[in-house]
Chains A and B, each alone.
Chain A
């Protein structure tokens, strides 16, 4: 797959995620005890033998930059190609933040122009899945279209979540004939995964045209507006896929890491998911520990009861504590005899001694980063 470069879009501010994205972008959301969302598309690229990847960042990207570093963990610290990070930059008094995905790409158009690779795959930084983009390129070449969009038939997500996504309708040949971006009333369940493959030269032309017309959004202003003129095909993906668009999906996605089938597909299929190394020591279970149906990261110390939960690296569950249906992010602390149920504890937060915090299964309670309850 030396003939394709990758671009990951990490998006703007997502208000629906509330406190979870107060200090980080969606792509930096923690998942599965040790990962960040961006690890999935980034590892997918590496596993598809893509060795040149650009990450376009805008909103609260410090934690993302810290996570990605020079790309060492993804084997992207290279002389030829490797990892490129594109935050917004100031050229003159006219310069601004990126106004949309097409604008962000246009601002970094030289990255695409200078690449000798013929094709580009664009993916979203906030989606959790394990997919081979190489197979998708094969499909793209076979169809001979301008753009190929990956989609998944999402039968198991509710309408509000669906209307935060892009919905596709295709004809019998797989050609996309209708595209509804974030429809109020979604008519179909074929969801665009935000993974697009096209020729680099084609993308450059389209971006230039957009800029000339004063258009900034890749999906709305290119794919939707130009659907009639372009040959856009869809590529079916049947594996596990979640887009972390709201707190409910974020919570659910983490809970799905307890499903052996999902774990098998995401982590043990042979295409591995890479992430930043923390050098934590293995988790320690003391005499009183009672842990069931849970994911536990390195560096945890457990002396209490943990059920149906995800504990990230360095979490501490003291004596007499009870954790149920909850997510405890990195270095979260439960002081003795406290308990949480249906709670998301963000990084470095704590529940003090004897305190009990409860949320609803459908509406988990969030304890914000660094907060002590």
Chain B
């Protein structure tokens, strides 16, 4: 069945800068915005752009991701023709192998794309939250008779050296690409959203696979070789909200962005909804002692305490006298009576006992992984239990599945790491 355009979602990465958030799930499966997972944005954008054929390339801890996507019902992708297909690494007799790099992953699935026989392939990274109509980008691609179009966004100069930076002629034609340049020549950052003419991409994927020196990365290898060969490559400027959620700080900020009076990422627009499997939960309940301001709350929550400037996800429980401030509370979290939780990310089903104080104190460098835990945000892992009366400072990470007995005493100093016992 011939399709004009199909999408390939690169969802195989771990996203290790998110620390314990991605220890048990792939980054695209991390919760965001009280109800969603990060991959919902790319999938819903496809659905809202009329791209009904989507391959999702998974590799790292795909269980949650696979069950989340299922047969694609929430995105209307349970179709006879096309729909969503999970593409996991597979064995080919003697030579089966894991995906090596983003381009390597697509190379391994050339047969999938060939079967759909598309003219254009949208290659999408799934590490960002944004709403975009890919049809407009495709229109731009066609109008320029481009062979490759890369979506770019203007970023502040100081951020440019963390990103893939494009230099373009005034017409929009890309002349140069630099990955994380020390001295950026432009502020146009690649958003990890590409439109390729499939025949061109296919050729380059095969050539790249034959090059033993290549690290099989889209930016570093494919785009660079194409530019060297003067392939027609254009920059499509995107003006809307686009946020990388690759670090703990960025993840927290992206959640907080939803609390603006009119958030730049408008999730209320019924013409371009973000879809996700809907939980079977009643509407949420604010008790007589509850107080919620400047926050986003999902279904199934029960709030008897105070919530300010926070994201509270599906089925969370906040006890009487508790205070939750500047925090991201993931689904199924329980916060006991009289506890204070400030600037903390609480992962799925984490349990905080009564009278705890979390995220209060002086900042200190993290002793365990200072390059990952480098802000004043605390992270309490999935299924972790914080016993009654525990005092936790800032920049603390409590591992997934930590039990009450794993805590050595009632005080956890800023910058500590609480590990789970085997």
A278-297 interface with B by 8 A CB criterion? 278-279, 281-297
| Any B CB within 8 A of the CB of A277 | yes
> Contact between B299 and A282 (Cβ–Cβ < 8 Å)?
yes
Taken together as a complex, chains A and B put the C-alpha atoms of A294 and B292 apart, in Å, by 11
Which one of A108-116, A160-168, A180-188, A267-275 is at the B interface? Answer: A267-275
Knowing A279-B273, A286-B294, A291-B291 touch, does A298 contact B285 (C-beta < 8 A)? Answer: no
> Contact between B285 and A282 (Cβ–Cβ < 8 Å)?
no
Task: Kindly provide the distance from the CB of B282 to the nearest chain A CB, expressed in whole angstroms.
Answer: 4
Closest to A306 in B: B286
Taken together as a complex, chains A and B put the C-alpha atoms of A266 and B300 apart, in Å, by 13
| Any A CB within 8 A of the CB of B342 | no
> Contact between B286 and A292 (Cβ–Cβ < 8 Å)?
yes
With beta carbons under 8 angstroms apart, the residue of B35, B74, B284 that contacts A295 is: B284
| Any A CB within 8 A of the CB of B298 | yes
**A257, A258, A278, A292 interface centre (most CB from chain B within 10 Å):** A292
Q: Which residues in A have their C-beta under 8 angstroms from that of B9? A: none
Q: Give the interface size bracket for B toward A.
A: 35 or more
Q: Which residues in B have their C-beta under 8 angstroms from that of A267? A: 281-282
With beta carbons under 8 angstroms apart, the residue of A260, A266, A291 that contacts B292 is: A291
Q: Which residues in A have their C-beta under 8 angstroms from that of B297? A: 282-283, 285, 296
Closest to A297 in B: B283
Task: Kindly provide the distance from the CB of A304 to the nearest chain B CB, expressed in whole angstroms.
Answer: 12
Closest to A43 in B: B280
| Any A CB within 8 A of the CB of B275 | yes
With beta carbons under 8 angstroms apart, the residue of B280, B283, B292, B299 that contacts A274 is: B280
- Which secondary structure characterizes the binding site on chain A? loop
| Any A CB within 8 A of the CB of B287 | yes
Knowing A34-B282, A295-B283 touch, does A289 contact B292 (C-beta < 8 A)? Answer: yes
Q: Which residues in A have their C-beta under 8 angstroms from that of B291? A: 290-292
Taken together as a complex, chains A and B put the C-alpha atoms of A277 and B274 apart, in Å, by 13
Interface string of B252-294 (1 = CB under 8 A from A): 0000001001000001100001111010111111111011111
Taken together as a complex, chains A and B put the C-alpha atoms of A277 and B313 apart, in Å, by 17
Q: Which residues in B have their C-beta under 8 angstroms from that of A268? A: 282
Knowing A281-B35, A298-B299 touch, does A286 contact B286 (C-beta < 8 A)? Answer: no
> Contact between B296 and A285 (Cβ–Cβ < 8 Å)?
yes
B293-333 interface with A by 8 A CB criterion? 293-299, 302, 307, 313
Report B's interface with A, CB cutoff 8 A: 33-35, 74, 258, 261, 267-268, 273-276, 278, 280-288, 290-299, 302, 307, 313
**What are 26 A-B pairs with beta-carbon distances under 8 A?**
A33-B283, A34-B282, A257-B282, A268-B282, A274-B280, A278-B278, A279-B275, A279-B276, A282-B33, A282-B34, A282-B296, A282-B298, A285-B292, A285-B295, A285-B296, A287-B294, A289-B293, A291-B286, A291-B290, A292-B286, A294-B285, A297-B283, A297-B299, A298-B298, A310-B283, A313-B283
